[in-house]
Structures are given as structure tokens and as C-alpha cells.
Amino acid sequence: MSESQLPDKIYYSIAELSDHFGVAKSLLRYWEKEFDKINPKRNAKGTRFYSKQDVEQIRLVYHLVKEKGHTLDGARKELKTRKKQVVSRIQVKESLQHIKSNLEQLRDQL
């Protein structure tokens, strides 16, 4: 996943999420079909607008499928049975990455 943070917005485009997670737009559309919790709003032209809740669900799916190597069925089962534990692991990982980044900045300043 990209190190950049998403801007604080109400809705995100599929292009923004594709860039942020480093995956193809088609993969995001596929995950939308496979996971009921990913349900972007659409305008009259059919353009998708992802809410923060959609982004959180994509983050969970990304972690399980791309980082942990689960199949889509495995990811679905994990989210049904152990969602809180998955969220907790992701938060710990992100905290550690932030600490590592800060330590690397301090090292570079020395």
C-alpha cells in the first residue's frame, strides 16, 4: 500500500483509491462485487464515490488478500469471524510503520 495518506474528504474516487492502494481500478470494482460491505454511491453517470466506511473495508480486504495472502473466501471468513482482531493487527502495523518512519527521519538528521 502507498505510504501517502488519503486527504480528509467525504467521498473518494476510484482513481484516488487505486493510486492509494496500488491496485487496478478493475480490482476495486471486483472486490465491490465480492464483498457486500463495499458499497460506493453512484451519480447519474454511474461514477463511483467511496465513503470512508468503504475505504475502511477496502483497507481490510487489501490487508487480508494482498499482504496476508488470503483467498477471497478466506478473507470473507476472517472478516465474519475475527474482524476486530484484523482491525487491531492493521492498527498495530500502521503504528509501527509510523514509528519506523519517525526513527528513520531522526537517523537522517544526525
Residue 55: which domain range? 14-109
Helix locations, 1-82, DSSP H: 14-21, 25-34, 52-62, 72-81
Q: How confident is the model at residue 61 (pLDDT cuts 50, 70, 90)?
A: very high
Residue 23 lies in a domain: yes
Give dist(CA 90, CA 60) in Å, integer. Answer: 8
The tally of domains found in the chain comes to 1
Task: Look up the pTM and report it.
Answer: 0.79
Residue 96 lies in a domain: yes
Mean pLDDT of 18-38: 95
Residue 1 lies in a domain: no
Residue 3 lies in a domain: no
Contacts of 31 (CB under 8 A, 6+ apart): 38, 58, 61
Residue 9 lies in a domain: no
